[in-house]
Structure 1
C-alpha cells in the first residue's frame, strides 16, 4: 500500500539524481505491482527488482513448494531469501554502489543481513516504524540491535522520532533529524475543480482528509465528528475523504444514507487536486507508527489549517515559532476524541478570521519542509558516513 514512506523515496531519489547516480532497489522478492508508483520516478532513477513480472507466479510457486518440502523433512532451506541476497550483492558490485539508504524495517533488516560483513556504509531512514515494531513486539530486540550495531547512521523525521529511537540505539550511532521534503505545489488550472466535480456550493466550508485506508488513521472518528457538526450548525459544510481500501469501501456502504455531504473519492495519484479545494485539512490518526505524515505537509503547502491528533511529530509539524497552524486534539481510549474533533471543526465554521489566521501560519510552517534543504541535508549526512568509512 502506498504511503508517506514510499512517496518520500520517490522525491528523495528524484532530488538526489540531479547530482548523483541513484538506483531504487525493491527488496521484496517479486516486482512492485503498482505501476503508477514506479511511473512516478524520473528517467534518471532506475527501479530494480529481482524478477520480471512475467516469471514471478510460476517461480514463486515452484520455490515455495521446494521450501515446504525441505521444511517437512526437517531441513528448511530459504531459497528465495538466499536468491534475493545474491542478487542484491550482485547489483551493488555491478553498479559500484558507494552507500545504501534503506527505508522501513523489513528493508533495513534485509540490507543488514545481506551486508553484515561488508564495508559499504548503510544509512537507515526511520519513518516511525522502529517504535511501532519494538513496542508492538513485532520483532525481538536482538533483531533491531543487530541492525543498529551494523548501520552507519540513522535519519529521523521529528523530535518525537529522535526521542523514541535514542532509547534503543547505541550512543556511537549518528542520529540526524531531517524533515521530509516537499516541493512547493505549482498552480494547476484543472478543467473541472474538485468542488465542481462534487457539486459543492462555493459558500460551503470543505473539510478534507488524505491518508492510507486503514482504520487507525481515524476515518470513522472524523465522520462521527462531522455528523455532530452538521447537527449543530446551519453553515453548509462538506467532507472529502481521499483514500481507498476494503475498509473504506465498507465504511462508505455503512453511511450511504447520510452521504450527501460526505464524499468518498477513492485513491488519487494527484492528491493536490483535492487538497486544493479543502478549506481545512484533517488527520485524526491514532496509528502507533505515526511519525511525519505526508498529508499534514501537503495541507501546509497549500496554506490549509490542520486539525490533527498529537501523534508522532504532528505537533511540531504545524508550528511556526510559537504559533500553531491549526488544532491539536488528544486521543481518548486510544482513539481520536470525537467531541474535540467536532469542537475544532465548529471553531473554524464559527470564526472565519481564525481560519484565515491559521492559513497564514500554515504557509510559514511549511518552510521547514523545503525539498531542496532536505536533499542537501541527506547529501551531507551521506558524505559524513563515507568520510568516516574511508
Structure 2
C-alpha cells in the first residue's frame, strides 16, 4: 500500500509520538508519506528528525525556515487587508500544496490524525482516495469546548471511509456523528518493549539512594496535566512518612519553570529534569508512574503506556481511556482517582502514594499486573490491526457502487 499520514502539526505530544511510531513500523512493508499541515509552524525539527529515512515527511512550511515564511505571509495578508479585501493567502496556498502533493504521489489511502488535519483533508481532497481518521480524543474535546459547530464535524464523518478510536470513551463521544455504515475500529496505540539502558541510571544522576521510593511523571508542560496537584500530594506524603521518597518530573514549559522556582527549598526531593527526547531513561528508574491529568482532550495518554511497558504501576485520574488502559483480567495496575471541582483530588493522590510506601507487597503485585496490562499496547499488534483495517476499508471502497 501507498499510505499518506496527515497530522495538524509536529510539536511534542502523544499523537505526534504515535504517528512517528506508526509510520516507522508501516514503512517496513509499505510506502509511507507523512504530511505535516503545519497549522502551528515551529523552528524546532526535533520530531521531524525522528522519522526514519524511508518515511518522507512533507511540510507546507519549509523545515529550514517555517516561521520566516509564516511571518512573510502574515505581513502580506495585512497589506492586502488595508485595501479592504480579505484574502487568506496561507489557506489558499496550503490547499494548493496539498492537492498538488496528492496528484504527485497518488496514494491508496490517507490516515489522518487530529481534528484540524481531518477537517483540512476532507475540505480539500479532490480525489476519491479513502480517508481513515484516527481519533486521539480531540473530537470529544472539540465537541465539549464548542470549538466547532455540529455541521462542520458531521461533514468530516460524512466523507471519511473509516475511523480508529483509541478507547471506549472515544467511541461514545463520536457515536452521534458516525453514520450507520461507517467502519469503526478500536485500536490501542502501540509501543515497543523498552530495551535495557546501559547508560548511567536516573537515580545515579540525581544521587537518589537505591532504597528510596521514586514516583515520577512524564507529560506535556501544561497545567491541566496535574503537575501542581501532584507536587501538593507529594508534600503531604513527605510529612506523613519517615521513608525516603523522591519525585521526578519530566517535561518543560514556562509553566513548569515557574513551578520549579516556587519550590526551591524542595530541590533535594522534587527533581525537575526538563524535556527528554527519550523519557524511558527516566521511567526506568521510577517505582511508580503518576498522571493526575484533568485535560479535557485526554484519551489514551502515552505516559501510562510507557509506565506499563516498564512494569510500573500508575496513579492516574479516571478520565478518557485511562481506566481501561490499566486493567488486566479485572485487576488494576495501580490506582485510579477521581477529580474534584474539575481537578485531580490531591488527598486521593497522596493516599495512593502512601499505600505503596507502606505496603511493598502491594507495589510488587501491581507491578506484575502492569506488565500484563501492557500486552494490549504492543506495537506489533497495533500495526497489524491498522494494516487489516486499512485493507478492509480499501476493499469496501473499491467494491462500493460509487467506485464501479
Q: 1:232 to 1:19 in 2, by over 3 A?
A: same
| Counterpart position of 2:270 | 262
Contact 2:42 2:66 in 1 (8 A): no
5 Å matches for 1:153-164? 153-164=162-173
5 Å matches for 1:93-172? 93-115=103-125, 117-172=126-181
Residues 335-380 of structure 1, C-alpha deviation per residue, up to 9 Å, x if partnerless?
0000000000000000000000000000000000011111011111
Contact 1:152 1:385 in 2 (8 A): yes
Q: 1:170 to 1:75 in 2, by over 3 A?
A: farther
Alpha-carbon separation, structure 2, partners of 1:124 and 1:343: 40
Residues 258-294 of structure 1, C-alpha deviation per residue, up to 9 Å, x if partnerless?
2220000000011000000000000000011100000
Contact 2:189 2:382 in 1 (8 A): yes
1:39 is paired with a residue whose SS is: helix
Matching residue within 186, 199, 204 for 1:177: 186
Alpha-carbon separation, structure 2, partners of 1:59 and 1:296: 38
Alpha-carbon separation, structure 1, partners of 2:299 and 2:40: 28
Q: Calculate the aligned-residue CA RMSD, in Å.
A: 1.4
The two structures have a TM-score, normalised by structure 2, of 0.93
Return 5+ residue gaps in structure 2 as ranges. Answer: 1-10, 399-404
State the aligned residue count: 388
Deviates more, 1:97-106 or 1:205-214: 97-106
1:374 aligned to 2:382?
yes
Instruction: State the Cα distance separating 1:140 from its structure 2 match.
Output: 1.5
Matching residue within 295, 300, 313 for 1:292: 300
5 Å matches for 1:211-226? 211-226=219-234
Contact 1:242 1:264 in 2 (8 A): yes
Q: 1:223 to 1:54 in 2, by over 3 A?
A: closer
Return 5+ residue gaps in structure 1 as ranges. Answer: none
| Counterpart position of 2:16 | 6
Instruction: State the Cα distance separating 1:55 from its structure 2 match.
Output: 5.4
| Counterpart position of 1:278 | 286
Residues 65-112 of structure 1, C-alpha deviation per residue, up to 9 Å, x if partnerless?
332244344431222111111111111121121111111111111111
Deviates more, 1:296-305 or 1:38-47: 38-47
1:65 is paired with a residue whose SS is: helix
Alpha-carbon separation, structure 1, partners of 2:250 and 2:64: 32
Q: 1:48 to 1:300 in 2, by over 3 A?
A: same
The two structures have a TM-score, normalised by structure 1, of 0.96
